Amino acid sequence: MGGSWSQFPQVVNQFDLARMRTATKLAVEMSESIMDITPTELAEVVFRFYRRGLTDPQRVAEVAVFLASSRLFRMRVETTIQQQHHELISDYV
């Protein structure tokens, strides 16, 4: 997508999707031996940073793995899981 981000930052094309897919696959491969994190969580980080302009798949994958391995990220994921669990329970109570 290159220089179009300033005009249409929410738009992604096939080229962008392919680069994000590559970055996510790289991040999953890099993270397998060091942490317990889902590909979906890594893809979320990849997407956020890709939209901010970090479009090199290798670099965005490295950032995703670094952030996903941080204590702050793990705390956020655990909090989100707990919130989703409480929402599910409250729907049935």
What is the rounded distance in angstroms from the CA atom of residue 86 to the CA atom of residue 32?
29
What band does 6 get if pLDDT is binned at 50, 70 and 90? low
pLDDT digit string, tens, across residues 34-62: 767 788 888 988 998 998 899 999 999 99
Domain count across the chain = 1
Range of the domain at 42: 2-92
Instruction: Please report the pLDDT score of residue 61 as a whole number.
Output: 95
Global pTM value: 0.66
Tokens of 56: 């090199």
CA gap 68, 43 in Å, rounded? 10
Question: Is residue 93 scored above 60 in pLDDT?
Answer: no
